[in-house]
C-alpha cells in the first residue's frame, strides 16, 4: 500500500499543452505514472508526449478512466478547472498552480468537501510514491522506494530532505508536498491518519515552517493518535520576530506560529526534532533502529 496514489493511479493533466504541463507530463511518465489524458479546451484530438488531449475533464474521464487530476492551469482559471474536475468525479486533485486568490481557494476547499474530492495544494509540488506513481512536479531523481513517509509544507526542503534520505541508503513510501498557502486542501492533520494506516510506512518525516498553527495542530494529533516515530524539521528559526517570510502562509500572530512554539509542541509530542535539514537522514536511521526496522 501507499498513500493516495499507487499503480492504479490514472492521471489527467489539466493545462497539458502549456509549457509546465508538457514538461511535467513527460517527467510523470518517466517516473512510471499512468498519464492517460490531458485537457485543454479547444485542443481536443491532439496529443502531447503521446498523451491524448480532450476538451473537457468529463470527456477525458469517460474515455480513459482517469482518477487523479494534476492542475497546471493559470491562477485566474484554476478555480473553474478544479470545479470541472470535481464535477467529472475525480476524487483527488493536485493543484500545482500558485498565486490562486485566497477566496478562490476557500471556495475550492468547501466545494471539494461537498463533492468528496481531496485537494493537495495549491502552490505545491504534489505527491509521489516511488516505484508506483507521481502526481506533480517533485524531481524524479530524489526518490527511491522505502518505508519512510514524508509530509512537508515547503517544496524546496521536500526535495532536499527526500534526497538526503535516499543518499543515506533509505527510501520513501509516499511523499506529500502540502503547499504553503494560508488555505490548503490537505493539512498535516489530514495527512497523518493516512500514514498511520499505511502498513508500508514505518516512520514519518514532518517538514514545517514558521507561520500558521498547522504544526502545533499536528503535534497535538501526534501526541494522542499517531503511533509511529516522527522526525521533524521546522524552517525559519532565524526569521526576525514579526516578519513574514517565504510562503503566504508564513504568518505569525499572538505568539503562535513561531519556530519556538512549533519546536516545543513537536518535542512535547515525542517527535525527534532536527536542527538542520541535513540532520534528518541520521535521525531517521536512529529512530528506525530504535524500533527494530531497517
| pLDDT value of position 253 | 52
CATH topology of domain 10-120: Rossmann fold (3.40.50)
| Rounded-to-integer distance, Cα 133 and Cα 111, Å | 26
| Rounded-to-integer distance, Cα 119 and Cα 82, Å | 9
Provide mean pLDDT across the span 164-171.
97
Query: Which residues have C-beta within 8 Å of that of residue 6, sequence separation ≥ 6?
Result: 129, 132, 133
Say which residue, 244 or 138, is predicted with more confidence: 138
99 tagged catalytic: no
Q: Where are the domains of the chain?
A: 10-120, 138-290
| pLDDT value of position 265 | 95
| pLDDT value of position 241 | 61
Say whether pLDDT at 255 is over 90: no
Contact, 36 vs 66, CB < 8 A?
yes
Order of strands, sheet of 203-209, starting from the edge strand that comes earlier in the sequence = 133-136, 126-129, 172-177, 145-152, 203-209, 230-235, 272-273
Q: Can you point out the beta strands (E) in the chain? A: 10-14, 34-39, 47-48, 51-54, 68-71, 92-95, 118-120, 126-129, 133-136, 145-152, 172-177, 203-209, 230-235, 272-273
Say which residue, 219 or 251, is predicted with more confidence: 219
- Among the listed residues 19, 34, 103, 247, the single catalytic one is 247
Q: Poorest-confidence range of 17-31, 148-162, 206-220, 246-260?
A: 246-260
State the first-to-last Cα distance of the chain, in angstroms, to the nearest integer.
18
| pLDDT value of position 259 | 86
| pLDDT value of position 28 | 98
| pLDDT value of position 236 | 77
Give the model confidence (pLDDT) of 48-85 as tens digits: 999 999 999 999 999 999 999 999 999 999 999 999 99
CATH topology of domain 138-290: Rossmann fold (3.40.50)
Query: pLDDT over 90 for what percent of the chain?
Result: 86
Provide mean pLDDT across the span 238-245.
60
- Domains 10-120 and 138-290 agree in fold: yes
Amino acid at each position: 500500500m501507499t498513500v493516495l496514489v499507487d499503480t492504479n493511479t490514472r492521471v489527467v493533466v489539466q493545462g497539458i499543452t502549456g509549457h509546465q504541463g508538457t514538461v511535467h507530463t513527460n517527467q510523470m511518465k518517466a517516473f512510471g505514472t499512468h498519464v492517460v489524458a490531458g485537457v485543454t479546451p479547444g485542443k481536443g484530438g491532439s496529443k502531447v508526449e503521446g498523451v491524448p488531449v480532450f476538451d473537457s475533464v468529463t470527456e477525458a474521464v469517460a474515455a480513459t478512466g482517469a482518477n487523479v487530476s494534476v492542475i497546471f492551469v493559470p491562477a485566474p482559471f484554476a478555480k473553474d478547472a478544479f470545479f470541472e474536475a470535481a464535477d467529472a468525479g475525480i476524487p483527488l486533485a493536485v493543484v500545482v498552480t500558485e498565486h490562486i486568490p485566497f477566496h478562490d481557494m476557500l471556495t475550492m476547499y468547501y466545494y471539494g468537501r461537498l463533492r468528496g474530492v481531496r485537494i493537495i495544494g495549491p502552490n505545491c509540488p504534489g505527491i509521489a510514491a516511488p516505484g508506483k506513481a507521481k502526481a506533480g512536479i517533485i524531481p524524479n531523481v530524489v526518490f527511491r522506494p522505502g518505508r519512510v513517509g514524508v509530509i512537508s509544507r515547503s517544496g524546496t526542503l521536500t526535495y532536499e530532505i527526500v534526497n538526503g534520505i535516499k543518499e543515506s541508503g533509505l527510501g520513501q513510501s509516499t511523499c506529500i508536498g502540502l503547499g504553503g498557502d494560508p488555505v490548503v486542501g490537505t493539512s498535516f492533520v489530514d495527512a497523518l491518519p493516512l500514514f498511520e494506516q499505511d502498513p508500508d510506512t514505518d516512520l514519518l518525516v514532518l517538514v514545517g515552517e514558521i507561520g500558521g498553527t498547522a504544526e502545533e495542530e499536528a503535534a497535538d494529533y501526534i501526541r494522542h493518535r499517531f503511533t509511529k516515530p516522527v522526525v521533524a524539521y521546522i524552517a525559519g528559526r532565524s526569521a526576525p520576530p514579526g516578519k513574514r517570510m517565504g510562503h503566504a502562509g508564513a504568518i505569525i500572530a499572538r505568539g503562535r506560529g513561531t519556530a519556538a512554539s512549533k519546536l516545543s509542541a513537536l518535542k512535547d509530542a515525542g517527535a525527534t526534532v532536527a536542527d538542520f535539514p541535513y540532520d534528518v537522514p541520521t535521525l531517521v536511521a536512529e529512530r528506525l533502529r530504535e524500533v527494530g526496522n531497517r
